[in-house]
Amino acid sequence: MNKARRNPFNLAAAHGILIVYTIIALFPVFVILINSFKERRSIFREPLALPHSESFSTVGYETVFNQGDFFLYFQNSLIVTVASLFFVLLFGAMAAFALAEYKFKGNTLMGLYLALGIMIPIRIGTVAILEMMVSTGLVNTLWALILVYTAQGLPLAVFILSEFMRQVSDDLKNAGRIDGLSEYTIFFRLVLPLVRPAMATVAVFNMIPIWNDLWFPLILAPAEETKTLTLGSQVFIGQFVTDWNAVLSALSMAILPVMVLYVIFSRQLIRGITSGAVK
Amino acid sequence: MSRTKLTAGLLATTMLVGTAASAQDVTLTIESWRNDDLTLWQDVIIPAFEAEHPGISVQFTPSAPAEYNAVLNSKLDAGSAGDLITCRPFDASLALYEAGHLTDLSDLDAMANFSDVAQSAWQTDDGSATFCMPMASVIHGFIYNADAFAELGLEEPTTVDEFFAVLDAIEEDGNYIPMAMGTADQWEAATMGYNNIGPNYWRGEEGRLALIAGEQSLTDPEWVGPLEQLARWGDYLGRGYEAQTYPDSQNLFTLGRAAIYPAGSWEITGFNAQADFAMGAFAPPVPNAGDECYISDHTDIAIGLNAASSNADAARTFLNWVGSAEFAEIYANALPGFFPLSNAEVTLEDPLAQEMISWRAECNSSIRSTYQILSRGTPNLENETWNASAQVIRGAEAPADAAARLQEGLASWYEPQQ
Amino acid sequence: MRQSRIKWHIIVFLAPAVLVYTAIMIVPLFNTLRLSLFTEVDQERVYVGLENFRTLFGDPRWSESFWNALGNNFWFFFIHMLVQNPIGILLAALLSNPRLRFSALYRTAIFVPTILSFVIVGFAWKLILSPIWGIAPEMLDAVGLGFLYQPWLGLEETSLTTLALISVWQFVGIPMMLIYAALLSIPDEILEAGECDGITGMSAFWKIKLPLILPSIGIISILTFVGNFNAFDLIYAAQGALAGPNFATDILGTFMYRTFFGFQLQLGDPHMGSAIASAMFVIILIGVCFYLFAIQSRMRRYQF
């Protein structure tokens, strides 16, 4: 251990920079949160003021809970997000392992093929996807969304995970092979725990567009029973009149579950690295 | 796979049995962009219909307004759209009809309640088929803060000169922003600016039809006139209006900070709920005292039948009801500012709505100039007009240059203008 | 490993991803891109070869929009590379210091914007930057810089840069996360060995850590490139589909969306829309191939 890494001045500077950036990151969020507790006039009269006795109002939250079943929407969003992430991570890691580990004909081409999906906005394939869901009877089921998001998440997952898997030590895997472990055991037991941080990153990466997506819920599963939170909040954004109280409240609440997921994944990220079992 | 088939088979059998037992329990789904009206449909309109027609239930399922066209088209192409389709005026719906997604409704009895003009937005070019039941139109004009006018001793202007005199007086007083409008969203400038004041210059239908026929061009004085007036507006808008959005404008006015709001009648409901001062409305001022006045009374919303609907009979029943005097009365009063298009006599309870609809008697009605036929090609005249109106107000382009650009764009694909 | 028979495990590893991905992404996408070779005449789909591309690049009305959007897109990307990624690396480097307290707290806080939906990001920043409701103007006034205030989102010169910076604000958490993960996975032994040689502090970062995280920086750059050239939502939420003022914020995503799905009175044109999407696809493909073949394969990889 050396002096520089312990230098209190450096540490103070680090805190300084991080605090400044944290303020920049959180200020707009703070603006949203305080305004979600104010009545409409005060939002625009004094957008920076904290809610006080005159301006305090939970009308937005009340509207949200009166219009539609927001607990159900929460649940739907959660199921779709978690299930999609599960499949993205599982299938993505398997494919990434195949690409990173084995030298076979067309390896690079396969890698490129699996990356094509991030180069074309998936929205333009909407009609074909919807036709497929209609013919398989999956319209207005959560499965339609889970399938689309899984497909949508795979290219990025494979791309990132294969890069990380190439960095996993060959010695470790070869040692496993000498011990007679099957390729599957090597993957699940030796490699997966090592790329946990990357898996957590991919999970975080993917969960946000899934959670916030409006387009596919609108098209594939607009029914009341399958509405997601983002779609549910959309009723407050009208053609001419937008109920900002309700929008701010609904979307403020929508931040929480993603935050929780993020904290879980980022824990995973740390644990994967510090567990030390494989180093 | 086989399980899906089995379920489908079972479902079909149940439905068959259901229809055989009694012709009832049909559920109609309405596709719409009107999120704003969700509670109104749920609490007022649908109960009124269902009370008269037991056995038919109706669901109003609006989607995000900005995505409506794209979402609807995708659903229609894939066959998952609802039974009833809320129709945008002119080409968007015409394209759906031509693609076989909408049904010809000319034979519905209630269609007789609508004049040719009312039907024109939802007809084929030759007028042979009408494919949506007209619901409402919107009227342009200016809504003002009557308290502010009284405080400053101002009166409703009737000519352009008076209008600018009023704006000058408000500006001089300094307590209010003279006019609430921004150019950030662009459509405000075109819809509430250009198409609001324009008909007085191009003499409503006369000019609009002459433009379509190729007898007038956008560089004629009748068509540059409104742009020239818009170029003067910039001075009377609030600080930083370049970044002012449409909701900003609404809030500026309803919070009492701006005195005049270039409006569409659809604002009435929202303004009534949000403004705590008295409001009045005046029609777009005419260029010279004594000129005949013209207003934009724009056919805006209608409802049609999805050709793929399996509940066509029930849907026709519903559409006939939408064409009835009863619906007109309910709709117009529940949504003041969306004016009925039917010939039925309707009494409006809202004073502001009553004021605006009364202009129909004093002035000549017209619809927005860019909507019929002229926005069929690329570049799209309506979208270009958004851009040009915003540019002119910001002073980034001279009115004559903007007009020349619009004309050149139109002439590039529209034969009668070549 | 070296047997010549079919290696079933490779197929098993690849199959689920390839199947789901091919069925739900590749088939619909390429079916749509195919439309760029067709056009519609009287409700009939007619094969026209490369005619749509000739229109896109030959007709000045189309090509001007295209080059404008492409140029704007490069600027958008440039700002991200210049601002987002260095900030992301800096934050990750600071956070990865094992002695830093509250590191988890900072990390979570800085990541919050990334979680927000575009609707709320658009609303919050428009409210803050608005000339009317006074947050930005008053804050500048308070520090005596009120004269600097401009309605940035409404001016042609500044709106694109402003939006790019908002996007940077929103997404800086992503490079931060990736680099952070990469920095954490550098074994302590390597750093300690460096310390024995007297390489510490800043120079440890430049000489040891940076070369080790280069592959991750490569990934971030290419992801930023792909993300930016597909970007759409933020501009759409903040400026609308016409990407005002005067198309100053129009990027390929908004241009494609407007053409493909239509906008207001402009009807959707899947044929021209797919032509633009194909052009975007080619641009992104070139970038990704450049990365895969020219950068990634030459990058020295360190195995831990």
User: What is the DSSP code string of A198-262?
Assistant: HHHHHHHHHHHHHHH--HHHHHH--SGGG--HHHHHGGGB-SS-B-HHHHHHHHHHHHHHHHHHH
CB of A225 less than 8 A from some CB of B: no
User: How far does the CA of residue A68 sit from the closest CA of chain C (Å)?
Assistant: 20
Give backbone dihedrals phi and psi of B260, rounded to 5 degrees, phi first.
-125, 140
pLDDT in tens, B340-380: 998 888 889 999 999 999 999 999 999 999 999 999 988 99
Tell me, which fold does domain C66-298 have in CATH? MetI-like fold (1.10.3720)
The predicted model gives B5-34 an average pLDDT of: 60
What are B242's two structure tokens? 């370049």
Nearest CA in chain C to A127: C28
Q: What would the CATH number be for the domain defined by B2-135+300-349?
A: 3.40.190.10
Question: What is A67-274's CATH number, 3.40.50.720, 1.10.3720.10, 3.30.2270.10, 2.60.120.1440?
Answer: 1.10.3720.10
Residue B63 has pLDDT above 50, yes or no: yes
Query: Do the Cβ atoms of A134 and B78 come within 8 Å?
Result: yes
The predicted model gives A159-175 an average pLDDT of: 84
Which residues are paired to B364 by β-bridges? B294
The predicted model gives B199-225 an average pLDDT of: 96
All CATH 3.40.190.10 domain ranges of chain B, comma separated, are 2-135+300-349, 139-297+365-417
Q: What would the CATH number be for the domain defined by B139-297+365-417?
A: 3.40.190.10
> pLDDT at position C87, please?
96
CB of B43 less than 8 A from some CB of A: no
Substitution target from B3, B33, B80 for chain A, most A beta carbons within 10 A: B80
pLDDT in tens, A189-222: 888 888 887 888 889 888 888 998 989 999 999 8
The B residues from 358 to 387 touching A (CB cutoff 8 Å) are: none
Give backbone dihedrals phi and psi of A24, rounded to 5 degrees, phi first.
-60, -40
The predicted model gives A64-91 an average pLDDT of: 91
The DSSP line for chain A is: --SGGG-HHHHHHHHHHHHHHHHHHHHHHHHHHHHHTB-HHHHHH-TTSPP-TTTB--HHHHHHHHSS-HHHHHHHHHHHHHHHHHHHHHHHHHHHHHHHH---TTHHHHHHHHHGGGGS-GGGGHHHHHHHHHHTT-TTSHHHHHHHHHHHHHHHHHHHHHHHHTTS-HHHHHHHHHTT--HHHIIIIIIHHHTHHHHHHHHHHHHHHHHH--HHHHHH--SGGG--HHHHHGGGB-SS-B-HHHHHHHHHHHHHHHHHHHHHHHHHHHHHHHS-TT-
With beta carbons less than 8 A apart as the criterion, state whether B71 and B63 touch: yes
The predicted model gives B38-64 an average pLDDT of: 92
> pLDDT at position B308, please?
95
User: How far does the CA of residue B64 sit from the closest CA of chain C (Å)?
Assistant: 12
Q: Can you give the residue ranges of every domain in chain A?
A: 1-57, 67-274
Query: Do the Cβ atoms of A184 and C123 come within 8 Å?
Result: no
The A residues from 123 to 182 touching B (CB cutoff 8 Å) are: 126-127, 130-131, 133-134, 136-137, 139
Q: What's chain B's Rg over C-alpha atoms? A: 23
Residue C8 has pLDDT above 80, yes or no: yes
Substitution target from B378, B393, B414 for chain C, most C beta carbons within 10 A: B378
Residue B362 to residues A115, B117, B366, C283: CA-CA distances in angstroms?
64, 18, 13, 58
User: How far does the CA of residue A3 sit from the closest CA of chain B (Å)?
Assistant: 52
Q: Which residues of B touch C (CB under 8 A)?
A: 66, 69-70, 73, 90-92, 95, 98-99, 182-187, 238-245, 248, 251-252, 370-371, 375-376, 378-383, 386-387, 390-391, 394, 396, 409, 412
The helix (H) or strand (E) run that includes residue B295 is strand B294-305
Q: Which of these ranges, B16-20, B200-204, C290-294, has the smallest mean pLDDT?
A: B16-20
Nearest CA in chain B to C248: B387
Query: Do the Cβ atoms of B243 and C151 come within 8 Å?
Result: yes
Query: Do the Cβ atoms of B396 and C246 come within 8 Å?
Result: yes
User: How far does the CA of residue B414 sit from the closest CA of chain C (Å)?
Assistant: 15
Query: Do the Cβ atoms of A241 and B270 come within 8 Å?
Result: yes
The predicted model gives B210-239 an average pLDDT of: 95
Q: Which of the four pLDDT bands, split at 50, 70 and 90, describes residue C150?
A: confident
With beta carbons less than 8 A apart as the criterion, state whether A240 and A60 touch: no
User: How far does the CA of residue A225 sit from the closest CA of chain C (Å)?
Assistant: 22
pLDDT in tens, C38-53: 998 878 889 999 999 9
Please name the member of A32, A119, A263 whose beta carbon is closest to the beta carbon of C284. Answer: A119
Nearest CA in chain B to C152: B243
Q: What's chain C's Rg over C-alpha atoms? A: 24
Q: Is C164 helix (H, G, I), strand (E, B) or coil?
A: helix
> pLDDT at position A138, please?
93
Give dist(CA C69, CA B302) in Å, integer. 36
The predicted model gives C138-167 an average pLDDT of: 90
The helix (H) or strand (E) run that includes residue B84 is strand B84-87
pLDDT in tens, A18-72: 999 999 999 998 888 888 888 888 888 788 888 888 888 888 888 888 877 888 9
